[in-house]
Structure 1
Amino acid sequence: MNEAQEITRILFQGFQTSSIYLFYAFGYSAIAVFLYGCYVQVRKYRRGKPDAAWGEFLARFGEMLKTMLTHRTIKRRDRAAGKAHAGIFFGFVLLFLGTATITLEYDILEPLFGFKFWYGDFYLWFSLVLDIAGTAVIAGVLYMMYRRKWLKLPKLDYKRPDREPTDPDYDRSAYRREDWAFLWGFIIILITGFLLEASRLIWLMNDPTVWDYRWWSPMGALIANALHGMGMGPEAAGHFRTGLWWFHGFIALTFVALIPFTKVKHIFTASASLMFRDPMVGRRLPMVPEEQEEIGVKTITDLTWKNLLNLDACTKCGRCHEACPANAVGAPLSPRDVILSLREFANNTLQKKELPDEAELDVHGKDIGQVFMETLWSCRTCLACVEICPVAVEHVPIIVQMRRKLVDEGNMEPILQKTLQSVHKNGNSMGESKRKRAKWTKDLPFAIKDARKEPVDVMWFVGDYASFDPRNQVVTKSFARLMRQAGVDFGLLYEAEMNAGNDIRRVGEEGLYEFLATSNISTLEQCDFKSIVTTDPHSFNTIRNEYPDFGGEFEINHYTTVIKQLLEQGKLKLKKQLDLTVTFHDSCHLGRYNKGYDAPRDIIKMLGCDLVEMARNRDNSFCCGAGGGRIWIPDPVGIQKPSENRIHEAGEIEDLDVFIVSCPKDLTMFEDARKTAGYEGKFEVKELIELITECVEFDDESVDEDADAA
């Protein structure tokens, strides 16, 4: 043996053959338990319904790798936790690869082929890299411990807003114990590993091929020097190493065996959840398969295998809990708790060898593990939870699927049921006759084309609130004036337009949604136009993202995109600049749903306004509370409305003049909130269209004067 080959570490050095056999017995037993646990989890997923998430597998796998390697979803809005997790993740990966490398040589290549490589320079660099990796993991775990124990972040408090303190599953203390067991188990494995390394160095300190190269294991060497300085000699180190070796091995193998049964399985489930993420999640809700007899999710087996995988991917980080507007104002909803309830339910039922009776699989109700009806109806479907989740859990589609079952069984607020009946009867949610949909046009000094009777370049899909609500009609007429001034050839569907169905679908009334969507598509297909424009982000979302599933492929733009182009092209000219301090609220359906962040802000800058952003803006915007049909459901007395929460945030801006919105529902919600929150006379709530109209130069002075008066 040459000198380089002597620079290595001899596995099981100083152990009898019987001890080695015993270790392998423990090792294979741990692997057997691990594999059985994996089998149980896979069996659980297979008990869910099919899911079409397998398409474009290689592209999905590549995107998952990119997300994991960049840690982009974990670093967002919590960089410290992201950095700590990166240290744990990359350190763990290197340690795993190091263990796999040793196994490759010791158990495969050397006994079968007589091939060795784990010595000399390779071994030294190997030792250095793994020491650094282990140190990074310990640092990351220590920060996570500090974060949980001393920072006391509200999002890491598992007390549930949908339960009473007397309920047995109110505080979920078992999760806290699991978290701490995971952290302590992990750190004990790492610390004992370094102590083993240090005791081996002292035990073999008289061997130059060990002691002279000890600084290639810097952490082990530091500990070894400290222990030796405190009087530990080779003989004591040898005895200490033997006992510690068995303790370390037992803890490490137990850790491996328990992976499928504990939080540690997120190593696999989170990766898979990221890989099977739907890029259109929430924006496009799943259709009901033709062969499916029952609608919605009633039992745990009505969830798809991907839904069940999502439940296991959740790491309880609380980011969705923190972002949820319903939770922020005290409603009985936390997206995290919905996911955890369903996960507990799935584990208690689907992990059994035989499935329980269907009645025991019902996820709706008041028992432990079931989800309350009040919880599901509290959701605004704003996608804040989905957007921030670092492991791609798809909360909103699951909640909507469960709502579909509630709607199918008639379990909803009477006022919501009345609204749905009105939509079915009149085609709108305002309870108005279809003939009144375009009544607002009569106040204009010009006629708007009927796109059913003559070709137009642009079809204007107006929407319910913009058509019927008096305050929003002011904005609607202003937009009509802007389109005419710019010379746009546009028209309406008049009474043939029906509610686009976006919120109807998110309420869970899938049958009514399909009726509305197919009716509108049929009407639009009979018209001659090039593109659609709408001032309603809710209509914009469903026509853009969901109508294609029903055969309706149309080019559609939100008005902010169109107006920006008209201003840039000089088709709309500005006569003045506004010297106003303003803030802008990102509508969920324009912003988070469709990434329409820039056009409104570009227009605001063109108008000369001083735009001051609220702390929660763009993808972190705070919902007005109208989404998911909540605009039709009265909020409980005594709790703050999401719109009031948002208005208070705007009220913190010094010398604010105008709170700007770009959605009819936002205008309704925030004008009411400004009054109830006590900000009347302090600043105004205006639609962006109103500010544009104030600045644009109109050819017809009477139109200009009418606009100013409005």
Structure 2
Amino acid sequence: MDATAQTTRILFEQFSPWAINLFYAFGYAAIACFLYGSYVQVRKYRRGQPDASWGQLAARFGDMARTMLTHRTLKRRDHAAGAAHAMIFFSFIALFVGTATITLEVDILKPLFGITFWKGGFYLLFSLVLDLAGLGLIGGLLYMMYRRKWMALPKLDYTRPDRQPGDPDYDRSAYRREDWAFLWTLILIGITGYVLEASRLVWLSGDAGVWDSRFWSPVGALLAHSLMGLGLDASGAGTLRGGLWWFHGLLALSFIALIPFTKVKHIFTASASLMFRDPLAGRRLPKVPETQEAAGYQAITDLTWKNLLHLDACTKCGRCHEACPARTVGAPLSPRDVILSLREFANHALAASSLPDKAELSIHGKGPGQVFMETLWSCRTCLACVEICPVAVEHVPIIVQMRRKLVEEGQMEPILQKTLQTIHKTGNSFGESKRKRGAWTKGLPFPVKDARKEPVETLWFVGDYAAFDPRNQKVTQAFARLLHAAGEDFGLLLDGELNAGNDVRRVGEEGLYEHLASSNIATLEGCEFKRIVTTDPHSFNTIRNEYPEFADPALRGLFQIEHYSTVLLKLIQNGRLTLKKHLSHRVTFHDPCHLGRFNKGYDAPRELLALIGCTLVEMPRNRDNSFCCGAGGGRIWIPDPVGMEKPAQNRMKEAAGLPDIDVFVVACPKDLTMFEDALKTTPGCEGRFVVRELIELIAECVEAADPAPAALAAAPAMA
């Protein structure tokens, strides 16, 4: 008979009854500690406000499972870290399932039903799988240690841009200690598991059933031979195994007990965060509930349970910190630090058995765990943080909710307050009379319809900058000529159009936003058209993603809106616009945040550039990793501190590093304004290339009188 046919491992081999009972006592204590900690966490979340994320749980779970199994969010822009985490994750799961399998037989099936299966071929295969899983776990952990210590990645530096040395919560060394404790605990569990296995093999080397099957545990077997080569005999191995068994077991039980109190809980909170993610987070901001007395977040208890869950889901990976344009140029903002500050505040205020006084729950201010006003106003709401977060933390909606409270209390730059008052009074951020909104049409050689008075195929929502800014008016007129050349039946709202409100809402002025949105919606509902088009990605985002929530449910299909890039692409492809010449420019393209990251409009502008003959040289930060111009979130109305680099200047330096580009192409009125100014003020960039709107390049090809390549010499005069 094969000696391995009944091979198994007796879990408590030669343990006395009191030792076994003691181990179970420790085990139950660890479980009790885990359950109590979990209760405390759940109680903390329940102290938050309701959230509308419940529903479609099966679909949500499926999406979460796919994300975790593919590790797609972790591999983005850091494939090595994602691969190492996958090794740790899947190895940990395998080892956990293995431990659960042993528990199933030893503690349930065998004592209750006399069923045993952990033997023979199953046991040997089980040993091989877990042996290899342990190797994957240790390998992944070693890479993470190397990455943290020797690669010295800036995103893993917890130095805070919003605090100064000496501030009560400036020091983040506790997080570093926690990170290393987590890594060392897991790696010690893995290493001691192998040494324990090796010492057992040496101890039982006289048992043919054990020794002959040793290479089903290849790492343990090789280590056993090494120990024997060092002179370890069976007796010494038995002693080593006894002490190591307790060390390994208590370390593993301590790990379980501390899960709810340490970063290990991200195993659960990150999964839940992914499950309850909002695919429109930041693109569509939450309305103020009618039952809510005041707008925004003042206290930690104003956050929803999902917000509080997000705080715990953060793994401190630093990807949002690295992507944030405000942090990059030296502003006192790191999305990660906002989340961690609020987490620390929540753990202090909400994890206790009873809530502190209301005065102690405010998350605004300069105290420990509070968020500075300057930090909140630094945000461009560009979604770079939300888009790259591997565990679906929704930073921007939380920041905007906190801004709402600041706006309600008047805590903002005077110039911003004046701009909001101007928008409320005139319906635009330029303070111009409403009657002048369509003044740019006077320079056209054809009349433009008033969509309020007659039906049109296409209703063009122009936007403030495209309508009032003199430089952008030239682009607006060019687009009108293109639509006319294509025979497009289009019209405008003229003085019936108000600021779309996208940036007003992201500033935090929810009341003014609802006024603007409701007014525009009422005007649109009174018009007859088939589609809306806009040259402004900011207007595009809010009309597409937010206006439907404020409209009659029966009329929500009214807000089918396209960005001009997709409209022009179709007009060229179906032959309604003819390209009379092709350009030979080497260009780079800046993805506008509200067209790209917000609404995934990456391809149409690039296809247009290819059609008109341009050679595209991609920016290092492009598509979903595009770097904000700095205008978003109302920052175009707020002056940057003197001497601090602007995000648009940072972008100009990036473009200047590209080989021999002629044109920096944009597809957003605010981008045109920000980058033309940045090109003039960024040392070493002016004269290297010009900033042009994509519409201008297309118009140059469509309106050309001859096929000769366009000269760029005249372009600076347009800047």
Question: 1:218 and 1:235 mapped to 2: Cα distance?
Answer: 22
Question: 2:113 and 2:596 mapped to 1: Cα distance?
Answer: 60
Aligned to 1:539: 539
User: Is residue 638 of structure 2 the alignment partner of residue 610 of structure 1?
Assistant: no
Q: Deviations over 1:380-428 (max 9, x none)?
A: 0000000000000000000000000000111000000000000000000
Q: Deviations over 1:624-660 (max 9, x none)?
A: 0000000000000111000000010000112110000
* Partner SS for 1:627: coil
8 Å Cα contact 1:270-1:313 kept in structure 2: yes
* Offset, 1:480: 0.4
Query: Which of 590, 593, 597 is the equivalent residue of 1:592?
Result: 597
User: Is residue 628 of structure 2 the alignment partner of residue 623 of structure 1?
Assistant: yes
8 Å Cα contact 2:596-2:624 kept in structure 1: yes
8 Å Cα contact 2:424-2:512 kept in structure 1: yes
* Partner SS for 1:6: coil
* Partner SS for 2:691: strand
Q: Deviations over 1:244-303 (max 9, x none)?
A: 111111111111000000000000000000000001111100011111111100000000
Map of 1:218-617 to 2, 5 A cutoff?
A: 218-551=218-551, 552=556, 553-617=558-622
8 Å Cα contact 1:667-1:686 kept in structure 2: yes
* Offset, 1:700: 13
Query: Which of 639, 643, 646 is the equivalent residue of 1:638?
Result: 643
User: Is residue 699 of structure 2 the alignment partner of residue 693 of structure 1?
Assistant: yes
Question: 2:13 and 2:296 mapped to 1: Cα distance?
Answer: 61
8 Å Cα contact 2:341-2:371 kept in structure 1: yes
Letter in 2 for 1:436: K
Q: Deviations over 1:526-570 (max 9, x none)?
A: 011110000000000000000000015411000000000000011
Question: 1:162 and 1:511 mapped to 2: Cα distance?
Answer: 29
* Offset, 1:166: 2.2
Worse-matched range after superposition: 160-169 or 555-564: 160-169
Question: 2:689 and 2:170 mapped to 1: Cα distance?
Answer: 41
Aligned to 1:168: 168
Letter in 2 for 1:684: V
Question: 2:259 and 2:318 mapped to 1: Cα distance?
Answer: 22
Aligned to 2:670: 665
Aligned to 2:43: 43
Query: Which of 654, 661, 682 is the equivalent residue of 2:659?
Result: 654
Unaligned runs of 5+ in 1: none
Worse-matched range after superposition: 233-242 or 164-173: 164-173
Q: Deviations over 1:217-251 (max 9, x none)?
A: 01101110100110000000000000111111111
Aligned to 1:681: 687
Letter in 1 for 2:219: M
Equivalences, count: 707
* Offset, 1:14: 1.2
Question: 1:554 and 1:319 mapped to 2: Cα distance?
Answer: 34
Aligned to 1:82: 82
Question: 1:369 and 1:453 mapped to 2: Cα distance?
Answer: 55
* Offset, 1:180: 0.4
Letter in 1 for 2:389: C
Question: 1:555 and 1:370 mapped to 2: Cα distance?
Answer: 41
8 Å Cα contact 1:485-1:698 kept in structure 2: no
* Offset, 1:680: 2.0
Question: 2:454 and 2:168 mapped to 1: Cα distance?
Answer: 65
Question: 2:117 and 2:441 mapped to 1: Cα distance?
Answer: 83
* Offset, 1:55: 1.1
* Offset, 1:167: 1.7
* Partner SS for 1:680: coil
8 Å Cα contact 1:485-1:699 kept in structure 2: no
Question: 2:703 and 2:447 mapped to 1: Cα distance?
Answer: 20
8 Å Cα contact 2:675-2:691 kept in structure 1: yes
* Partner SS for 1:592: coil
Letter in 2 for 1:53: S
Letter in 2 for 1:309: L
Question: 1:486 and 1:580 mapped to 2: Cα distance?
Answer: 25
Letter in 2 for 1:28: Y
Q: Deviations over 1:580-629 (max 9, x none)?
A: 11000000000000000000000000010010001000000000000000
Question: 2:661 and 2:2 mapped to 1: Cα distance?
Answer: 79
8 Å Cα contact 1:580-1:658 kept in structure 2: yes
* Offset, 1:3: 5.1
Question: 1:40 and 1:574 mapped to 2: Cα distance?
Answer: 66
* Offset, 1:431: 1.2
8 Å Cα contact 1:586-1:597 kept in structure 2: yes
Map of 1:143-154 to 2, 5 A cutoff?
A: 143-154=143-154
8 Å Cα contact 2:48-2:304 kept in structure 1: yes
Question: 1:633 and 1:417 mapped to 2: Cα distance?
Answer: 10
* Partner SS for 1:462: coil
Letter in 2 for 1:561: T
Question: 1:16 and 1:657 mapped to 2: Cα distance?
Answer: 82
Question: 1:672 and 1:627 mapped to 2: Cα distance?
Answer: 16
Question: 2:149 and 2:526 mapped to 1: Cα distance?
Answer: 64
8 Å Cα contact 1:419-1:632 kept in structure 2: yes
* Offset, 1:168: 3.1
Unaligned runs of 5+ in 2: none
Question: 1:700 and 1:604 mapped to 2: Cα distance?
Answer: 19
Where in structure 1 do 4 or more consecutive aligned residues deviate above 6 Å? Answer: 698-701, 707-710
Q: Deviations over 1:420-461 (max 9, x none)?
A: 000000000111111111111111111100111111000000
Distance 1:634 1:361, change over 3 A: same
Q: Deviations over 1:152-175 (max 9, x none)?
A: 000000000000122232230000
8 Å Cα contact 1:572-1:697 kept in structure 2: no
8 Å Cα contact 2:4-2:213 kept in structure 1: no
* Offset, 1:4: 5.2
8 Å Cα contact 2:580-2:705 kept in structure 1: no
* Offset, 1:698: 6.9
Question: 1:676 and 1:222 mapped to 2: Cα distance?
Answer: 65
